[in-house]
Amino acid sequence: MERKRDDSGKFVPQVTDERVLDALGEGTLSAQQVADKLGCSRQAADRRLRNLLEDGTVEKHTFGPRSVAWSLTDELQDVVCEGESDDE
């Protein structure tokens, strides 16, 4: 599959912050679960999740030496929940 390019010729990111945050809006997920939802590699999802962690947008939950899950911060989760109630 050929990757899309923008008008300047740069590759368009397939995994955006917005798409990752939308996936996490459904609940706490592993990087693999995020990748499955977005149709990308686990590594691509993990890179984006780590960037969002540095930005303070997501939280990392460690369950043992190899089990990690990701979720929206409480503040962002509140915004998502408010948006859903506005849609009703």
Please give the full DSSP string across 45-59, using - where no structure is assigned.
HHHHHHHHHHHTSEE
Residue 82 has a pLDDT of 63
Residue 78 has a pLDDT of 72
**Where do the domains of the chain lie, and which CATH numbers do they carry?**
17-87 (1.10.10.10)
pTM: 0.76
Residue 6 has a pLDDT of 73
Residue 81 has a pLDDT of 61
**Residue 8, pLDDT above cutoff 70:** yes
Residue 67 has a pLDDT of 93
Residue 27 has a pLDDT of 94
